[in-house]
Every structure is written in structure tokens, then in C-alpha cells.
Structure 1
Amino acid sequence: MQQFNISTASVIGLGYIGLPTAAMLASRKIKVIGVDVNQHAVDTINQGKIHIVEPDLDMLVHASVTQGYLRATTKPEPADVFLIAVPTPFIGDHAPDLSYVQAAVESIAPVLEKGNIIILESTSPVGTTEKILDWLSLARPDLRLPVEHELDPDINIAYCPERVLPGHVVRELVENDRIIGGLSDACSKRAADVYRIFVTGKLLISNARTAEMCKLTENAFRDINIAFANELSMICDKLDINPWELIKLANHHPRVNILQPGCGVGGHCIAVDPWFIVDKTPNEARLIRAAREVNDHKPDWVLGKIRHAVASLTASGLEESRLKVAVLGLAFKPNIDDLRESPALHIAKQFAKTTTTQLLLVEPNIRALPKPLANHQLVSLNDAITQADILVLLVNHREFAGVKHCINKKTLLVDAIGIDFI
């Protein structure tokens, strides 16, 4: 089998996964060309800075750029390996949108050369990696592609999903095991050569379809378990039981480990990926669909609790327009700045549309509010605590530790994170 030298890599998409991956490769003395359509992201990275919040990533990017191993651009250039890490959202009734992946493949097609490796990292529905063959067949009919030329393809294609935890991405990129599914055995081996550059975890070889389904399965499993906790919290509310106390007690059983309920499920993975399974197999994925529906409903349930708190104050004679409601947390999980599919952000936006109260927003990981909330106030935690008539706890950021000891006794509390049990 022909041996391919890997001295340059191109990462398409410089977001929460692409940029750390690019920086990790660059830290191993691989020349990395990062590609993104966002000119601001490109300019920021070329200054040795980062446009996202992720611990330790700033130092890694600064060192890689300063030493000349990482640079960013808006147009693909030739490289030995191309890693695609672009979004895969859903559209309409939760149908997967593969337009970003297709655009990425078509953008690199003109610069592909014999011996190149293409690895898709974007979380994708089953069969997406095979679609790369279709797109490349149209864009580069001169290339011998895998499957038809399994033993000696010009281009090797594989799927390797990211499986990192926001806030711990730099460490987990190195330590976590990776699932590598090629369109042929040769493709899997070539892709494994790339990840051996920086991964100390196991490289587990499979095929593309199984690797795609593995990532979806991991996130659907987590979604189902979160849905149980969220549904339990709503049941407990109706039965006048503290769900966090109940869960704490139940978890003393040696074979029970119930997760903590919250205001919903967000992010680019768990809130999206299970729908890819449902879309492909709607009649079979009944439990997965039910879990998604429970978690998608939880933000609206919390929103109802906020409106009930407002109604209780206005019923006592206070004017709604004079009330101040403080929302603590907008990110989709603690200690990050990521607002993608955030249930907390959804709650804040929906409440803002239907209230005349003064809305105070606390999110320590961002500097400016997103456009739908731009007319409201981004305030400090101290200002929120001292001014609010109603305090809404949505995200368990580290900055909020001990907040329960500072709340005025007259302040109404809407608690989605279990403040007395964190």
C-alpha cells in the first residue's frame, strides 16, 4: 500500500471543534491551513487570538500562529489532509441540513491532489460520508474514488466524529478514544495515521455508516437520560416534591444514577443529533423521538413558571412594567459562551416578546447580547441580585456559586438548576 506523507493539513470550519483541532495539529509541527467563511474569525486567528471561549485554546492558537504552523484563510488551498468540521443543523420538521458539508466538499474539490485524505468530523446522519463520493464524482470526475477503486483510490475518505466536552476540548481532543470509519479499509488506515499525530486515546476502526451512527447513538443515549430527569422534575412539581432531593435520595441505590434536571437541552449535538436518527427511521425511533419532545418542551414549561411568578406579583397590585426580572445564564451549559440551541436563550427571548417587565440578563461568558435581546440589559450578577423582583436561575455557571446566600427574602425565585442542591 502506498504511504502518504502528512506535512500539511487543512481544517474547513474554524468553530468550536475545527479551531481546537487545527491548533492541536499545528502544535505537533504540522503546517495547518484553517479555512472559514467568517472573515472576522480568520482575521482574529491570524492575530494569534481566538473568537470563541475555550480554556487553554488561546495559548495553543497564539503559539501555533506565532511559530508559523497555523494560519487562516477564506479559500481552501492544497494540503495532504482535509478535515471538515462545519455545522450540520436541521431544517423544517427536524430534517438534516447537509448544505454546509456539501459546500465544504465542493470548495476543496478544485485543490485536491492524488494521495489526499478527506475526513468528515461534522456530526452527520447515516450515509453522509457516502454522499461525499457523489459530490466529488461531479466536481472531479478525473479522480479514482474509494469503493469503486477500493485498493488504490486517488482520494481516501473517512468519517471520524468529534466527541469532546465544551470547556475541556483541548484535553479531550488528545485523551479521548476516536471512532474512525472509512469508505474502505484503506481509507480507515489513512485516517488513523492523521489522528495518531495527536491522539493518545484508542483509535477504534469501523466503517463509515457505523461511525456515523455511533456518534448519533452516544448523544441519543444522553438525551434520553436527560429527558428522564426533566420529565421527573415536572412530575415532582405537580406532586409538590423537590426533584433534586428526590434524585439525590434515589441515587443512593447502587444501580441508579439519575442525572440532574435543567431548563432543557441545548448545544450543537444533543439537541440536534437524535433527530437525525428519527428522520431516517421515524417508525422505529419512538423512544428517541419521545425524549426529544420532552426536552424540547422543558423550556416552555420553565417559561410558564416565570410568567406565573410575574402574575403572582401583579395580582398583589404591582405594575408589570415596574417589575424587574433577572435571568441568570444564557449559554447552553455551564462555564462556556456557546449559545447554540440554548434552552436558556430560548426562554429569555420568548419571555422578552411577551412581557413589559424590565429584563436583566446575566451571562458572564459573553460581552454583548445577541440581536433578539439587544434592547435589554446585560448586567452583573450583583446588580441582578440587588435589583430583581424575580430571579430566574437557568444555567449553573461557576460565577453563580453561593448566590442562594445573597438573595433577598422578598425576591421570588424560579429555579431550574436546583440551587439548594448544587
Structure 2
Amino acid sequence: MTHQTPAFHRIGVIGMGYVGLTLTAALARKGFEVHGVDVQPAVLESLGRGRPHVYEPGVDETFAEHIGGRIHIGSELPAEPVDAAILCVSTPVDEETHEPYLKNLAAAAEHVAERCTPRTLVVVRSTVPVGTTREVVLPRLLDAWGRARLVMAPERTIQGRALTELTGLPQVVGGLDEDSLRSGRDLFGGLADQVLPVSSLEAAELVKLTNNCHTDVIYAFGNELAMLSERFGLDPLEVIRATNLDYPRPDIARPGYVGGGCLSKDPYIMAFAGERAGYRPGLIGAARKLNEVLPVHVAARVADALRETGGTTLYVLGWAYKGWPPTDDMRGTPIAAMMPVFDAAGLRVLGHDPLVGAEVIQAHGGEPVDDVLAGFREADAVLVVTDHPDYRALDMTRALEGSRTRLVFDSWRILDRAGITARGVRYEGLGYTSAAPAAPVPVVTA
């Protein structure tokens, strides 16, 4: 049996991007009637046929089962007011100024004000600067209704595990007042195993920003160590393994690219909020800058190596922003920063990704390759950008047979180094050069 609070039956979800899409599926699985709203015709058409436009395990099956039943998709909320309206619209940052764009959120709040009543619980799910729920959403509701029930309940899931985490992670809820908070706890109590109330709208806003900025900083330290190891001629994985083994302090993260829809923009949203309050968060800004520089640094290393050997064709494995858990999300993908470097070097770039479509690879300037092994036969160098399971399973002896490849840059160190170097192919990775000793097999204790 599904658990559902009687006060909430019909839920509106405004914004059918990743956050709204996965939340809609999770609510439907819990027995709620969900009305998803979006303004993009292609999204509406695809979802109306029960075909989600974003890859996420379990979402396809949920939409196929419940579209037209528990799930309804349209360009507006239904005429009869929903019990709760959850705002999941995007809040991108400007590429030049890095200031957050909040007009989508304002428009969503205005739509709710037009189609709903003060009885509707309004939930902000989008990631926003601290103070935004009160400053942008609340005035539009008060202008229309005179009063409002309003909560901030940030989305905190990881792609690839969203449906599990939506019910398993604590749902943080901050309310405008006690009545709002009580309603927010009731609503999310029908979704998740645990609801964590916080003291205000602003506290809930800061929780989401803190989660993602902290993650960005953690990864940045691993990347800083990789940059240092590269200069010292050492292997960062050896250093990290020795640093972490049975040591009772927080583990050092392995070096790797940091992207996605959240980590690539939330530090800027945090910085924007901090600067409005009179404080510039230097650590967060430095971490973001380092994580953005890393793909450019790698691209330059690969381009330089090809220039030395006279090669002109590069094969890139992995175009989404990450490979595990698998996703087709291109937001914050490393390849976006790498391609200008490859273009300037005059390289021909072949591309493969298990989930990213050929048209997307072409749009980013690559030549799609269907068979993962086929690209090796044409490439002078191979760059592994993501740690997708398909790449971890590659038989490198077979892949390099008949290939003219002379360099494999394995960003995540997931390939068979010994098998690669045995064929006379140069092997490198993040912070690791061919001159550095390979990391030993990690110690395994009983």
C-alpha cells in the first residue's frame, strides 16, 4: 500500500526538466495525481506520449504506466486548483556575469497565482539564491491572494539514482510560517521516509547550496592534488591511496571532471547570494575556477601530445558530463570546454557515448561513432572523458589491434594500463604522465 496524506491528492509540478520530471514520476509511484506543466512544445509532445526526454532509470517505465492516469501533462495547470504546486523551473546563470536568471521562477509563481487559490500549498524546489523564495515568489502570491502557504523544499538527488533518493533521502522543508511548514511536512511525508524541517525559507535555500558547493570544493582538492602531482612527476592515485588507507579523517577525493546542472552553477548562485549580503566566498569561487580549468588543461595536454607525434585525429569517449551513474545530461560537460582547444589545434574529433545521441555529438563539433571499437582504428589518440561501465569493460588489446593510436589519455584511470603500454602506446591520466611511476595495487586488508 502507498502512504499518502489525505490533504494532498492533486499535485502540480511546474517545469518538466530533470527535477520536475523525476519528482513527477516519484509522486505518481506514491499514488498522487500529478499535473506536469511545461512551455516547450517538444517536451509536451514527448511526455504526452509517455516518452520522457531525459534519461533516468525508472522514469520511462513510470510514465509509460501512468500517463493519462496518475500523470497528466499540459502547458497550464488544470482549471480546478491543485492541492500543491511545486515550482521546478530552471534557474541558470549568465555565462558572462554568472548572475542567476530568476525570470523563469517569477513566471511560474505568476502562473500559480492565476490558476490556484490561497488553499494551494506552493513549494519552491528550484535552486535559488538565499532570500529568493521570499523576495520573488511570495510577493506574487500575496498580490493575487492576500495570503499564502509557502515552503522551500530543495531537490538534492544525484542523476542515476533520483527515484531512490527522492524517497530515501531526508526531504528538507522550510516554511513561511507554522501552517506552511506543517503542510510542507504533510506533503513530503507522503513521498519520503524522512522529512527534516528547518527554521525558515532561507535555511532551506542555503541547505541545497551548501550540499553542492561542499561537493565542488571536495572534488577541487582532488584536482588540485592532481595538478601538483603532474608537476612533481608523481602518481596522484598512489598518493591518495596512501593518504586515505585506514586514516581516520575525511577521505581525499580522486581527481575528476566536475559538471552537471547543479555543480557547474550553484557555486555562482552561492557567490551571488553572499556578495549581496556583503561577503565574497573565496574558497567556493576558487574551487569552481579550478574545476572549470581542468578540462581545458587536459585538452591542451592532449593537443600538445598530438602535435609532437604529428597526429590529427582524436577519439573522445564520453560526451555527457559523467559516466557513473550513467546519464545523457550535457550540462556542464567537460567536452564543451575542450572542443575550442581541439578546434584551435586543427584536430578532427571522433565521438562516442553510450547514451548521448549522434545529433548532440555533432552539435558539439564531433563526428559520431556507433561502434565503440571502430573509433580506435582511425584515431591517433584516445581521450576517455567519462567512467561509463562500457568503457571500464573495454578489452584494450582488441581495441588497439590494427590501430594507429599512440596515446591513450585515461582521465579516470579505468583502462588496462599494462595492456596499453605493452603495445607501445603512451598512457596518461589526470595528474599522471608517462614519466610517473604507476600506482601500486591497493592494499586489501581482511
TM-score (norm 1): 0.89
Aligned AA for 2:152?
Y
Question: 2:306 corresponds to which residue?
Answer: 310
Q: Can you give the 5+ residue segments of structure 2 that lack an aligned partner in the other structure?
A: 418-438, 442-446
Q: Is 1:353 equivalent to 2:348 in the alignment? A: no
**Separation in 1 of the partners of 2:119 and 2:44?**
27
Cα pair 1:188 1:206 within 8 Å, conserved = no
Judging changes above 3 Å, is the alpha-carbon distance between structure 1 residues 108 and 256 closer, same or farther for their aligned structure 2 residues? Answer: closer
Question: 1:382 corresponds to which residue?
Answer: 373
**Separation in 2 of the partners of 1:355 and 1:184?**
58
Question: 1:258 corresponds to which residue?
Answer: 252
Question: 1:115 corresponds to which residue?
Answer: 119
Cα pair 2:98 2:268 within 8 Å, conserved = yes
Q: Is 1:399 equivalent to 2:390 in the alignment? A: yes
Q: Secondary structure at the match of 2:129?
A: coil
Question: 2:140 corresponds to which residue?
Answer: 135
Structure 1 vs Structure 2 CA RMSD = 2.1
Q: Structure 1 residue 218: deviation in Å?
A: 1.0
**Separation in 2 of the partners of 1:28 and 1:286?**
42
Question: 1:296 corresponds to which residue?
Answer: 292
Query: Relative to structure 2, which stretch is displaced further, 370-379 or 300-309?
Result: 370-379
* Partner deviation per Cα, 1:145-187 (whole Å, 9 max, x = no partner): 2xxxxxxxxx211100011110001111111101101111211
The total of aligned residue pairs comes to 398
Q: Structure 1 residue 203: deviation in Å?
A: 3.1
Cα pair 1:250 1:256 within 8 Å, conserved = no
Judging changes above 3 Å, is the alpha-carbon distance between structure 1 residues 355 and 284 closer, same or farther for their aligned structure 2 residues? Answer: closer
Judging changes above 3 Å, is the alpha-carbon distance between structure 1 residues 404 and 307 closer, same or farther for their aligned structure 2 residues? Answer: farther
Cα pair 2:382 2:405 within 8 Å, conserved = no
Question: 1:418 corresponds to which residue?
Answer: 413
Question: 1:24 corresponds to which residue?
Answer: 26
Aligned AA for 1:339?
M
**Separation in 1 of the partners of 2:16 and 2:29?**
16
Judging changes above 3 Å, is the alpha-carbon distance between structure 1 residues 199 and 240 closer, same or farther for their aligned structure 2 residues? Answer: same
* Partner deviation per Cα, 1:179-219 (whole Å, 9 max, x = no partner): 10111121111111111112113433331101101111111
**Separation in 2 of the partners of 1:276 and 1:358?**
36
Question: 1:333 corresponds to which residue?
Answer: 322
Aligned AA for 1:273?
D
**Separation in 2 of the partners of 1:256 and 1:125?**
28
Aligned AA for 1:400?
Y
Question: 2:356 corresponds to which residue?
Answer: 366
Cα pair 2:319 2:356 within 8 Å, conserved = no
Question: 1:11 corresponds to which residue?
Answer: 13
**Separation in 1 of the partners of 2:16 and 2:98?**
25
Q: Secondary structure at the match of 1:95?
A: coil
Q: Where has structure 1 moved over 4 Å in runs of 4 or more?
A: none
Judging changes above 3 Å, is the alpha-carbon distance between structure 1 residues 312 and 330 closer, same or farther for their aligned structure 2 residues? Answer: same
Which residues of 2 match residues 249-288 of structure 1 at below 5 A? 249-252=242-245, 253-262=247-256, 264-282=257-275, 283-288=279-284
Question: 2:240 corresponds to which residue?
Answer: 247
Aligned AA for 2:134?
E
**Separation in 2 of the partners of 1:310 and 1:415?**
15
Question: 1:88 corresponds to which residue?
Answer: 91
Aligned AA for 2:285?
R
Question: 1:124 corresponds to which residue?
Answer: 128
Cα pair 2:188 2:195 within 8 Å, conserved = no
* Partner deviation per Cα, 1:358-404 (whole Å, 9 max, x = no partner): 21101110223336435633443111223211000111011101336
- Which one of 201, 209, 216 corresponds to residue 208 of structure 1? 201
Question: 2:75 corresponds to which residue?
Answer: 74
Judging changes above 3 Å, is the alpha-carbon distance between structure 1 residues 256 and 130 closer, same or farther for their aligned structure 2 residues? Answer: closer
Q: Can you give the 5+ residue segments of structure 1 that lack an aligned partner in the other structure?
A: 146-154, 315-319
Q: Structure 1 residue 351: deviation in Å?
A: 3.5
Cα pair 1:391 1:413 within 8 Å, conserved = yes
- Which one of 148, 154, 166 corresponds to residue 159 of structure 2? 166
Q: Secondary structure at the match of 1:110?
A: helix
Q: Secondary structure at the match of 1:356?
A: coil
**Separation in 2 of the partners of 1:286 and 1:175?**
33
Q: Is 1:324 equivalent to 2:317 in the alignment? A: no
Percent identical among aligned pairs is 27
Judging changes above 3 Å, is the alpha-carbon distance between structure 1 residues 97 and 42 closer, same or farther for their aligned structure 2 residues? Answer: same
Which residues of 2 match residues 179-194 of structure 1 at below 5 A? 179-194=172-187
**Separation in 1 of the partners of 2:251 and 2:309?**
38
**Separation in 2 of the partners of 1:378 and 1:386?**
11
**Separation in 2 of the partners of 1:199 and 1:340?**
27
TM-score (norm 2): 0.84
Question: 2:444 corresponds to which residue?
Answer: none
**Separation in 2 of the partners of 1:114 and 1:410?**
65
**Separation in 2 of the partners of 1:298 and 1:391?**
18
Q: Structure 1 residue 281: deviation in Å?
A: 2.2
Q: Structure 1 residue 256: deviation in Å?
A: 4.3
Question: 1:317 corresponds to which residue?
Answer: none
Cα pair 2:185 2:195 within 8 Å, conserved = no
**Separation in 1 of the partners of 2:61 and 2:393?**
30
Cα pair 1:360 1:379 within 8 Å, conserved = no
